[in-house]
Structure 1
Amino acid sequence: MSFIRFISIIKARYKIIIFTLFITVLTTAIVTILLPKNYKATASVLVNYKGADPVTGVMLPAQLMPGYMATQVDIISSKNVAKKVIDKLGLADVPAVKEDFYQATSGKGEIKEWLADLLLKKLQVKPSRESSIIDISFFGVNPQFAATIANEFAESYMQTSIQLKVEPSQKAALYFVEQLKELREDLAQAQSKLSEYQQEKGIVSVDERLDVERARLNELSSQLVIAQAQVMEARSREKNSSGKEAYESPDVAANPIIQNLKTEIARAESRFADVSQKFERNHPFYLGAKAEIENLKSELDRQIKSVSSNVASNSRILQQREAEIRLALNNQKEKVLQLNRDRDILSVLTREVENAQKAYDMAMQRYTQTNIEGQSNQSDISLLNPAVAPLTPTSPNLLLNIILSILLGMFLGIGFGVLAEFVDRRVRTADDLIEVLQAPLLGTISKEKRKLRFFKNTSNLITLGKAEL
C-alpha cells in the first residue's frame, strides 16, 4: 500500500477513526474515574555501610559494598520483616482481614504468610545509585495506612538488622561460656601441678639457686685446677727428694738443719785432715775425728730422709685434697645437672600455666567482646525521612491515561478504518482504477477542474433561463 493510498483511506474513513478515538477516550476517562485511587507513601533510610561498627570498630571492606546494599534490599523485602510489621500492627487479628483470608484460601495455610505475600506485592524497595539511601515505598488505597505500613517496614528492617547482627554474637557468647569453663579447669590443673612440683622439690626460685650452685661449681673447678698443679709440683718434689737425687732436692738444700750439718761435716772433715796428718789411724784423736764425721753424716742422712718423708707426706695430703675437690666437683656437677632438669620440668609446667592463662585470657576477651555485641542495640541504619500520608493519589492518573487513550484510540481508529477499507473496497486513486480495470488510464480530472466546470455549467444555465424569460 502506497502512502498516497493510505492517506486517501484515512480521509475517506475519518468518521470511523474519530468515533473510535472518542469511544476509547471516553471509556478510559470513565474507567479512570471509577477505579479506586491508589496512594504511595515512601520512607527513606540511611545505611551507613562505610562507617565503623559502633562496638567492634571493624571497617566493612570496600569490595563488599555493592553486595551489602543488595543484601539490605533483600532483607527489607523478606517475609521476616513483613511478619514483624504484621505482628506490630496486629493485622492478623483484624476480623475483616480474617474474613478475606478465609474467602481467598478457604482457611488453608497461615494468615501471616498470606498477609506477608500481600504486603510484599505492594512494597517497593529502591536503593539510590549514588548514595547509601534506600527508599521504602508502599502502595495502598488509604494514604494513612500506606504511610503507616511504610514506616513500620523501616522500623522492622532496623530491628531485623540489629537482630541479625546480635544473634550470632549471642550464640558465640554461649559457646565461649562453655569454653571458659574448660579453660578455667585446665588453668587450675596446670597451676596445681606447678605448685605440687615446687613443694616436692622445695623450689622457690630455680634461677637464683642455679646461679649459686653454678658459682660453687666454678669455684670448685678453680680449686681443682690449683690442687692439680700443687699435686704435680709435690710429686716432682717428692721424686727429687728421694733416692740418690735427694741431695740436689731444693727442699733438702733449703733445710737449715741440713745446711748446718753440712757445715759441721765440712769442719769435721777439715779437722780430720789435720789429725790424719799428725796422728796414726789407731790414735784416739784420729778415731775421734773419724767417728765425729761419721756421726754427722749419719745425722745428715737421717735429716734428709726426714725431709723426703715430709715432702712425700705433703704430696699425699695434696693428692687427697685433689681427690676430695674432684669428688665435690662431681657432686656439684650432678647437683647443677639435677637443678637443670628440675628447671626444665619447672619451665614446662610454667609454660603450661602461661599457655593456659593466655588461652583463658583470649577466650575471656572474645567472650567480653561478643557479650557486648550480643547486648548492643546500636545499628548502622537510621530513619532519614519517615513516610507521611500523601495528599494526591499516585494512580490512576487521569491526564496520563487520557493522553495514552488518545494515542491508543488513534491507532485503533486507523486500524478499524484500514480494516473497513479492505472489507468494502473503493476506488480512491488512479492507481486503484488501473488495478481494478486492468486497463490503461487515458487521463484524470482533478478536483479543481471539476469545480470550475461545475461553476461554468451553472452560469450557462442561469443565462439561458433569463433569455427564455
Structure 2
Amino acid sequence: MTLFQFLLILRARRRIVAYAVVCTAIAALAVSLVLPKRYTAIASVVVDVKSPDPVAGMMLPAMTMPGYMATQVDIINSDRVAYGAIKRLGLADDAGLHARWLDATGGRDTFESWYADILQAKLDVKPSRESNVISIAYTSPEAGKAAAVANAFAQAYIATNVELKVGPAKEYAQWFEQQGKALRERVEQAQARLSEYQQQNGIVNNANGRLDYETQKLNDLQSQVVLAEAAEADADSKRHNGGADLLGESMQRPVIQQLKSEITLRQAKLDQAAGNLGKNHPQYIGMAEEIATLKQRLAAETRQVAASVDSNRRVAHEKVQRLKAAIEAQKTSILALNKNLDQAAVLQREVEAAEKAANAVADRFNQSSLESQSNQTNISVLTPAAAPVLPSSPRIPLNVLVATVAGLLLGIGAALVAEMFDRRIRSTRDVEAGLGIPLLATLESPDKTTTRRLSFGRPMALPG
C-alpha cells in the first residue's frame, strides 16, 4: 500500500475516523468531569552541604559524597519520617481513621504503619537537578490536607535529621562517659603508684636537683682525693729521702731555728773561752754542757719533725682511703638514685599517658554531649506548601487532547480494518493491481454525482 492509496482510504472512510475521534474525546471529557478533583501541594527544603557543621566546626565528609542527596530522599520516604508526620498531624487521635484501620487490617498491624503506607503512596519526593533543593509533593482530594501533609513531612524530615545526629551523639556521650570514668581511675592508680614509690625511695619533686647535688658532691670528693694523694706522696717522699727534705721541714719550724741560732752563738763563745780560759776551766766546761743540752733539744726537735712527717703520711694515707671509700659509696648512691629516678620517670610517663588518654576522652565526651544537646541542622524549609487553588488532576484539556490523538489512531485503525473486509477500487492503480493488465483509457462518468461501486471478483458493467 502506497501513501496515496492510504490517503484515498482515509478520505473514503473519513466518517469512521471522525466518529472515533469525537467519541473518544467526548468519553474523555465525560470521565474527566466525573473523576474527583485532586490537589497537589509542594514543600521545598534546602540542604546546605557547603557550610561547616555548627557543632563540629568543620565540613563533614559525608555531605560531599555523591549519594548524599539520594540518601536524604530515602530518609524522607522512610517510615520514620512518615510516623513523625502522622504525629504532627494528630491523625492518631482520629476516630474515623481508626475505624478504617480496624476494618482494613483487623488490628493486626499498627495504625501508624498502616496509615504511613497510605501517605507514602501519595507522596512524591524529587531532588532538583544540579542543586541542593528537594521537593516534597503530596496529592489529596482536599487542597488544605495536601498542603498540611506536605508541610508535616518537611518538618518531620528536619526533626528526623536532627534525631539522626543527636541519637548517636547521646550514645557516644554515654560510652565516652563510661570510658572517662575508667581512665580517671587509671590516672588515680598510676598517680598512687608514683607517690608510693617516691615516698619509699625518698624522691622529692626536685629530684633532678638532688641528682645534681650528689654529682657535685662526688666531684668534690674526687678533688679531695687528688689533694690527699698529693699530700701522701709528698710525705712519703720526705720519709724516703730523709736529710734534705727533713732539713727543709725542720728549718720551717721556729723552735729549731732558734735552737740552731743559740747553738751557733754559744759555740762561738765556747771557742773564744777555749782560747782565753782553757778547756779545763769550769766556765768553759759549763758552757760546753749548755751547748750539749741545746744539741740534745735540737736532736729531739728534729726527731719530732721526722715523727711528724711520718704521722702526716699516715694521716694522708688514711684520708685517701676514707675519700676513696666515700667516692665508692657516693657512686653507689648516685647509681641507686638514677635507678630510682628512672623507675619514677617510668611511673610518671604512665601517669602522663593515662592523663592524656583521659583528657582526649573528656574532649570527645564534651563534644558528643554538645552534639547531643544541639537542635541545629543543615536543612531548612525553603518554601512551605500552600493550599493549591487549581487541581492537579484531572487535567481536562490534556485528557481531551490525549483522547483525541488516541481516537484518531483508533479511527485510522478501524478504517483500515473496514477496508480489508470491503475492498474498493479507488484509483487506476487499484484497477491495474486488481486485474493484472495494463490500463488503456479512463472514461469519465457523465453524472459526476453518481459513484460507481466496483468490487473485485464481480464483472464490471461499462456504460453503453
**Bucket of the pairwise TM-score, normalised by the shorter protein:** 0.7 to 0.9
Give the aligned partner of residue 213 of structure 2.
Answer: 212
Residue 340 of structure 1 and its aligned partner are, at CA, apart by 2.1
Provide the rounded CA distance (Å) in 1 between the counterparts of 2:448 and 2:121: 71
| Distance of 1:28 and 1:20 partners within structure 2 | 12
What's the offset of the Cα at 1:174? Answer: 1.1
Deviation sequence 1:156-215 (CA, Å, 0-9, x none): 001100000000110011112211221222222222223333333344332333233233
Give the equivalent residue in structure 2 for 1:221: 222
Aligned to 1:183: 183
Could you say what secondary structure the match of 1:427 adopts?
coil
| 8 Å Cα contact 2:49-2:64 kept in structure 1 | no
Q: How much has 1:311 moved relative to structure 2? A: 1.6
For residues 357 and 384 of structure 1, what CA distance do their matches in structure 2 show? 47
* Matching residue of 2:346: 348
Name the residue aligned to 2:146: 146
2:393 aligns to what SS in structure 1? coil
Q: Percent identity?
A: 42
* Structure 1 residue aligned with 2:20: 20
CA-CA distance at 1:66 after TM superposition: 2.8
5+ residue gaps in structure 2? 273-281, 450-464
Please give the alpha-carbon distance, in whole angstroms, between the structure 2 residues aligned to 1:390 and 1:247.
Answer: 130
Cα offsets for 1:200-237 (capped at 9, x unmatched): 33443323332332332222222122212222222222
| Paired amino acid for 1:138 | Y
The normalised TM-score by structure 2 is: 0.84
Query: CA separation in 2, counterparts of 1:62 and 1:185?
Result: 36
CA contact (8 A) 1:40 1:146 kept: yes
Secondary structure at the counterpart of residue 84 of structure 2: helix
Alignment of 1:297-316 (within 5 A): 305-316=303-314
Alignment-derived partner of residue 423 in structure 2: 425
Contact 2:211–2:334 at 8 Å: present in 1 too? yes
Q: Which structure 2 residues correspond to residues 364-383 of structure 1 after superposition, within 5 A?
A: 364-383=362-381
How far, CA to CA, are the matches of 1:166 and 1:44 in structure 2?
24
Q: Give the match's secondary structure for 1:41.
A: strand
Structure 1 stretches lacking a partner, 5+ long:
275-283, 455-469
Q: Distance in 2 between matches of 1:439 and 1:123?
A: 68
Report the 3-state secondary structure (helix = DSSP H, G, I; strand = E; otherwise coil) of the residue aligned with 1:382: strand
Question: Are 1:329 and 2:330 counterparts?
Answer: no
Change (3 A) 1:165 1:93: same
Structure-2 separation of matches of 1:402 and 1:381: 42
Measured at CA, do residues 24 and 106 of structure 1 come closer, stay the same or move farther in structure 2, by a change above 3 Å?
A: farther
> Once structures 1 and 2 are overlaid, which stretch shifts more, 164-173 or 117-126?
117-126
Counting only pairs closer than 5 Å after superposition, residues 38-57 of structure 1 correspond to structure 2 as 38-57=38-57
Query: 1:64 & 1:163 partners in 2: Cα distance?
Result: 21
How many correspondences in the alignment? 446
Q: CA RMSD in A?
A: 3.6
In 2, Cα distance between the equivalents of 1:165 and 1:309?
98
Give distance in 1, aligned partners of 2:291 and 2:108.
150
Q: Which residue matches 1:6?
A: 6
Query: Residue 194 of structure 2 corresponds to which residue in structure 1?
Result: 194
Partners of 2:130 and 2:152 in 1: how far apart?
Answer: 25
Give the C-alpha shift of residue 452 in structure 1: 9.2
Kindly provide the CA deviation profile for residues 111-169 of structure 1, in whole angstroms up to 9, marking residues without a partner as x: 32222122112111111223221111101111111101000000100110000000011
SS at match of 1:66: coil
Distance (whole Å) between structure 1 residues aligned to residue 392 and residue 297 of structure 2: 148
Deviation at 1:395, TM superposition (A): 1.1
* CA distance in 1: counterparts of 2:166 and 2:421, whole angstroms: 74
SS in 2 for 1:125: strand
Matching residue's letter, 1:331: A
Query: Following the alignment from structure 2 to structure 1, what is the Cα–Cα distance between the partners of residues 308 and 446?
Result: 178
1:75–1:81: 8 Å Cα contact kept in structure 2?
yes
Quote the Cα distance in structure 2 between the aligned partners of 1:43 and 1:290. Answer: 145
Query: Could you give the per-residue CA deviations for residues 255-300 of structure 1, whole angstroms, max 9, x where no partner exists?
Result: 67777888999999999999xxxxxxxxx9xx99999999999887
Residue matched to 2:240: 239
- CA distance in 2 between counterparts of 1:246 and 1:434 reads 169
Q: Is the 8 A contact 1:246 1:252 kept in 2?
A: no
1:411 corresponds to which of 409, 412, 418: 409
Between 329-338 and 378-387, the greater mean CA deviation after superposition: 329-338
Equivalent pair of 2:238/2:246 in contact (CA under 8 Å): no
Give matches, 1:455-466, under 5 Å: none
Matched residue of 2:67: which SS? helix
Distance in 1 (CA, whole Å) between partners of 2:155 and 2:149 is 10
Q: Aligned AA for 1:124?
A: D
Q: Matched residues in 1 for 2:387 and 2:63: separation?
A: 38
Residue type of the alignment partner of 1:425: R
Instruction: Give the distance between the partners of 1:162 and 1:64, measured in 2 at CA.
Output: 19
Distance 2:431 2:239 in 1: 164
